[in-house]
Amino acid sequence: MDEPFRTQLRDTLDLVPAHAWYATPAGGLTFVNKVGGAYGGIPEDHPLRLGAVVDPAWDSHISWLHPDDHEETRRVWSTCLRTGRAGDVSFRIRNSDGEYRWFLSRAQPLRANDGTLLGWIGINFDIDERRQVELFLAEAQRLAHTGSWVFNGAGFAHWSPELFRIHGLEPASKAPSVAEYLALVHPDDRDAMASELERILVSDTGFEFTKRIVRPDGAIRHVRCVGLPASSGHASPEFIGTGIDVTEQEKLTSALRKGEEELRQVLDFTPQLIAVFGSRRERLHANRVALEFLGVSLDDWRQMSSGDEVHPDDVERFKAAAVLHMSNRSPYELEVRMRRRDGSYRWLLARYNPVSDEQGQIIRLYVACTDIDDRKRAEERLQQQNVALREEVDKASMFEEIVGASPALAALLARVAKVANTDSTVLINGETGTGKELIARAIHRRSRRSSGAFVAVNCAAIPRELMVSELFGHERGAFTGAIQRRPGRFELADGGTLFLDEVGELSPEIQVALLRVLQEREFERLGGSQRIRVDVRVIAATNRKLGTAISRGSFREDLFYRLNVFPLEVPPLRERSDDIPLLVRYFIDRYARNAGKVISRVNKAAMERLESYPWPGNVRELQNVIERSVIVCDTDEFTVDESWLATKPASDGGTKLSSTLAAHERAIVEEALRASGGRVFGPSGAAARLGIPRSTLESKIRALNIDKSQFRG
């Protein structure tokens, strides 16, 4: 190379804002430009700054390099000198302060027109910052067991050193081919991996999967690959991504999965309904018992909304409790009805236990439900029975005990003693006021059911349109005003006795329903579909001649035979006159004590008058007369106002109406019954229309042999 050319080249390289140099064909460094000289602290009059040949040997200048970079630098430049082709290498060069920085050195051969090698020209680019980032990234990958790669249609274009180490290989400059890569994949995953690579190239979309590899030493590792399409504009798809060694995580996940499976098996064997919810109350898991109770699969249960399983009457209370207790993150419990797979509801005690993280945020909510349906229904039944009992106790009874010793009463009580200890249905016949309900209670008290409820129903006192609900109960919404479910009298009497007073007043449709219950011992609530089975003893009573009602078609003959299993006839008071003195003294003592009076004797004439009176109202009428007399009595002697016993006694125990008077009274009574729809009592009943007591009208109806049922409906 002639001197003018070298001078021109030197001046040109001095203008380059990087470390520029040239060397002899043998590699001897002969020039370093101003930027490079300043970096290395080379004086301006140094031969290298002037372009003079200092030393044709490259090794004399390699001392500027970091000791760890000597071998690789010598290898690269030896290859360049041997082949005469360009090359590049990264190394660290010491500056004038003795510090090292990374440079990328690129050398290009300089040739004459005939191809003769004239020398080498090169530039060193400062890559220290980039190199530091690369080293930091490589160290981060090593610590995170994460490698990086580039993949395209031709195969892998790049593997980071850590990716080699993950696969148990020494880092190399060349990434493995697809065949070499698949050879590292576990045999059981190899076909799936090959298919996945093909799918990735076709779809050109991001992907994520985990595969197993087998290292050269036989160790099996789990590697998770995550990749994204590169936006480099290549003609063929290219992807960049990472490979992460997740073996330890997989082992932990497997252990957790196994533990979770064992826990689920334990939960499935637990007899309670158990559910697990997430931080946002999302549904995570329910045990087998809960799913079988609800009749749904786990996936179906997860899609259900909060409160779907809860009884409509309990939903508002259920949600309010959740809001209240979730806000203060405290455990709580709630009694609630849940719907079963067959559509019925059962009471459950649900216990909620929230679990919070270190910041106090709820991360899990565990719920365990215990079936308390039998207890709740027993409590409801007891409550209803208590209500019914209080209603019955509050009613004015005819008398508290059976008082008397007459042969007629003794014969009746003997039959009561025989039938009481059985479960046979009893039909009690007798006039109004004879004490039919008292006989029914006596049967109950002496029976095996005495610990159960005695529930009484006055069939004449309940409007016919409400009788079905009264006897059998109703569901919420069964009719206007049915705002909640209500059990009927049959349910309340379960295990005890149901007393149907004045059973002859039942309408034909109720007679059919009653007959069915007596036959099948089960029924449905009004508006419901669930069959309810009960164990109830039925005692019926009537003051009507049911035989006459059957012949007129107002009472079913088959129902009569169901009720008339064991008939009892309660004698009227006129047939047990021997008991009148006992009853008089009993009632005087009772009402005098209540009134705070002392009555020590009974006027003889008054007693004779009481014994001779026919008592059409029977014991109830006697009770009323005694109570009234005690109220007005001012001395210790009991007397009776004669006007209260105005009816003339007769030997046949009744009164004879003339045919004319009877016809007139019959017309008046029938007209009142017709206007009241056959109803005797109540504000719109016939008794109120006529302005007479109900008992008096009932006596008139019997005396006139009037059939009330013909005026109904």
Structure tokens given for 604:
């003889």
Give phi and psi for 244, each to the nearest 5.
-120, 130
Rounded Cα–Cα distance for residues 497 and 447 (Å): 10
One-letter amino acid at 708 equals K
Q: Are 242 and 147 spatial neighbours (Cβ–Cβ below 8 Å)?
A: yes
One-letter amino acid at 447 equals S
Using DSSP, how many helices (H) and how many strands (E) does the chain show?
A: 26, 26
- 3-class SS at 681? coil
Q: Are 436 and 450 spatial neighbours (Cβ–Cβ below 8 Å)?
A: no
One-letter amino acid at 312 equals P
With a CB cutoff of 8 Å and minimum separation 6, the contacts of 596 are: none
One-letter amino acid at 585 equals R
> HSE of 573 in the Cβ direction (CA atoms, 13 Å)?
27
In the chain, how long is the greatest CA-to-CA distance?
A: 173
- 3-class SS at 403? coil
Q: Are 708 and 543 spatial neighbours (Cβ–Cβ below 8 Å)?
A: no
One-letter amino acid at 459 equals C
* H or E element, residue 472: helix 464-472
pLDDT of residue 439: 93
Rounded Cα–Cα distance for residues 413 and 417 (Å): 6
Query: Mapped to the 3 state alphabet, what secondary structure does 692-712 carry?
Result: CCHHHHHHHHHHCCCCHHHHC
Rounded Cα–Cα distance for residues 658 and 412 (Å): 35
Reported for 38-41, long-range contacts at CB under 8 A and 24+ positions apart, including other chains, are: 39/93, 39/95, 39/96, 40/64, 40/93, 40/94, 40/95, 40/96, 41/95, 41/96
DSSP conformational letter for 452: S
Rounded Cα–Cα distance for residues 255 and 264 (Å): 14
Rounded Cα–Cα distance for residues 180 and 167 (Å): 12
Q: Is 218 left (phi over 0), alpha (psi -120 to 50) or beta?
A: left
One-letter amino acid at 681 equals F
Rounded Cα–Cα distance for residues 554 and 533 (Å): 29
Rounded Cα–Cα distance for residues 581 and 600 (Å): 14
Burial 40-68 (b: 16+ CB within 10 A, else e): bebeeeeebbebeebeeebeebbeebeee
Q: Euclidean distance between the first and final Cα of the chain, in Å?
A: 136
Burial 84-113 (b: 16+ CB within 10 A, else e): eeebebbbbbbeeeeebbbbebebebbeee
Structure tokens given for 287:
């045990």
Q: Which residues of the chain have pLDDT under 70?
A: 1-6, 49-62, 130-145, 231-236, 253-266, 269, 382-401, 482, 646-662, 695, 713
With a CB cutoff of 8 Å and minimum separation 6, the contacts of 60 are: none
> Facing residues of 276 across strands?
285, 366
Rounded Cα–Cα distance for residues 456 and 461 (Å): 11
pLDDT of residue 132: 65
Q: Are 122 and 29 spatial neighbours (Cβ–Cβ below 8 Å)?
A: no
Structure tokens given for 520:
């099948």
Structure tokens given for 307:
């409160």
In 3D space, the residue among 484, 526, 527, 529 whose CA is nearest the CA of residue 313 turns out to be 484
Rounded Cα–Cα distance for residues 29 and 48 (Å): 8
Rounded Cα–Cα distance for residues 12 and 16 (Å): 7
Give phi and psi for 143, each to the nearest 5.
-70, -35
- 3-class SS at 84? coil
Sign of the dihedral through C-alpha 307, 309, 311, 314: negative
